Structure 1
């Protein structure tokens, strides 16, 4: 029997597909989806060596943020969100928070998704006023049920995670957590489960 990666459907437009074609596609999707955590971790490693003017590189910032969340007693899903909160820096320099939030949306709670999506604006409280922006931009979300959660994430973990002397857990410590959190989506627009 052929390896799943060798199977191909014969249509040239999706409207030509039959149920058997979509069984092949579904089987291939499931096999590919199992590798998502590894691909995400590989992408996270691209942050290594990119300091962006900060005292630590973006990978260390991510490790520090996650380590601080873990040491604070946050659950595994939260720690993984903390680890991956800035993963969008490489592809979305102007909207990195949106990328991380979109990537993790199927795997995290609505609360964590909101924190990830808004953390860029909330983080601005600590520096926007130094670059000519309104540090209180986050106030547009005052009254939202997750406002304080996002403010806490930024204050306790994100803004504090630029300490060159801080001893972070290594990426290997977090890898099993990423594997577990991303093993199966909590929500998806697709019916297909990995």
Structure 2
């Protein structure tokens, strides 16, 4: 890198643009890895993600929020102990600070419904009381994430959300590489 030139970085930048444009395809492949893995729940992880997004969509949330709902558990396969961090990292360049915080913190907030069954403090979310994202994350878990384990729910298919995902991921908002993506 110390010997690179502007011409070298023009080539690399052009390659980056095409690679970055294919990000939605890679995300969809990874999301499909959740198919069939129930983890003891009544629906598999992909269905849970689709139900969460379907509920947000039917509640007339904007596309960015719906895609956050869709991808909130995408980290389950690689981040068994920190899946919200994985999802939040994927989404961070494309979403608002509040939506990012919702995804990043949803695991702690969702724990309210079950941590006490595991000998944990169900009120861990209270450490974030007063934060700007607190009420929004409570709402996300209560309205969209927690109820999205229903095997009888009329869940929209992944193909329905694909155009939204492509639109949201086509417009990075928060990246140091913004000049390369334009």
Distance in 1, Cα, partners of 2:138 & 2:87? 18
* Alignment partner of 1:124 out of 87, 92, 111: 111
Distance in 1, Cα, partners of 2:174 & 2:84? 20
* Alpha-carbon offset, residue 88 of structure 1: 0.4
Report the equivalent of 1:99.
86
| Large movers: runs of 4+ above 2 Å | none
Q: Does 1:71 align with 2:58?
A: yes
Distance in 1, Cα, partners of 2:10 & 2:41? 49
* Alpha-carbon offset, residue 180 of structure 1: 0.3
* Alpha-carbon offset, residue 73 of structure 1: 1.0
Q: Does 1:82 align with 2:74?
A: no
Distance in 2, Cα, partners of 1:31 & 1:60? 30
Report the equivalent of 2:162.
175
Distance in 2, Cα, partners of 1:144 & 1:187? 21
* Alpha-carbon offset, residue 189 of structure 1: 1.8
Larger radius of gyration: 1
* Alpha-carbon offset, residue 182 of structure 1: 0.3
Report the equivalent of 1:137.
124
Give the secondary structure class of the aligned counterpart of 1:106. Answer: helix
Distance in 2, Cα, partners of 1:70 & 1:132? 34
Q: Compute the TM-score of the two structures, normalised by the length of structure 2.
A: 0.98
Task: Give me the CA root mean square deviation.
Answer: 0.7
| Residue deviations 1:3-37 (CA, integer Å, cap 9, x gap) | xxxxxxxxxxx112111111100000001111001
Distance in 1, Cα, partners of 2:62 & 2:172? 17
Give the secondary structure class of the aligned counterpart of 1:105. Answer: helix
Distance in 1, Cα, partners of 2:180 & 2:16? 8
Q: Compute the TM-score of the two structures, normalised by the length of structure 1.
A: 0.92
Structure 2, unaligned runs of 5 or more: none
Report the equivalent of 2:180.
192
* Alpha-carbon offset, residue 137 of structure 1: 0.3
Distance in 2, Cα, partners of 1:85 & 1:193? 24
* Alpha-carbon offset, residue 193 of structure 1: 1.0
